[in-house]
């Protein structure tokens, strides 16, 4: 049986999922955040799997405005999209399906 997949904001998680996140990321999840493109919207998330449900948990991320400004000035729109796609694919390869 395939696991149910849910996308949930961190603020709306049940305590059992928060506990699973703490077990999976004992040193914090800051180095495991992936950027997810959902249509015209972008959000940041971490993954966590329970027995019956795989969660994509939306988390808040502080973005340095100067870094974003420099990135926008250096990369063209097409290059930025390609870099985001590469980062997402790399994050999926590194963290896909592991608990």
Distance (Å, whole) CA 12 – CA 57? 9
Is the model's pLDDT at 94 over the cut of 80?
A: no
Q: What pLDDT shows up at residue 39?
A: 85
Torsion angle of the four alpha carbons 19, 24, 27, 33, in this order, in degrees rounded to the nearest 10: -100
Q: Write the pLDDT tens digit of every residue in 16-67.
A: 999 999 999 999 998 999 999 888 888 999 999 998 999 999 998 876 655 5
Give yes or no for residue 78 having a pLDDT over 80: no
Q: What is the pLDDT of residue 21?
A: 94
Q: What is the pLDDT of residue 61?
A: 82
| pLDDT score for 88 | 54
């Amino acid at each position: 049986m395939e696991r149910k997949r849910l996308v949930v904001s961190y603020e709306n998680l049940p305590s059992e999922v928060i506990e699973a996140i703490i077990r999976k990321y004992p040193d914090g999840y800051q180095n495991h955040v992936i950027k997810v493109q959902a249509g015209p919207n972008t959000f940041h998330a971490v993954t966590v799997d329970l027995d019956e449900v795989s969660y994509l948990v939306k988390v808040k991320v502080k973005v340095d405005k100067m870094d974003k400004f420099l990135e926008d000035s250096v990369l063209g729109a097409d290059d930025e999209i390609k870099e985001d796609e590469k980062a997402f694919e790399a994050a999926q390869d590194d963290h896909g399906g592991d608990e």
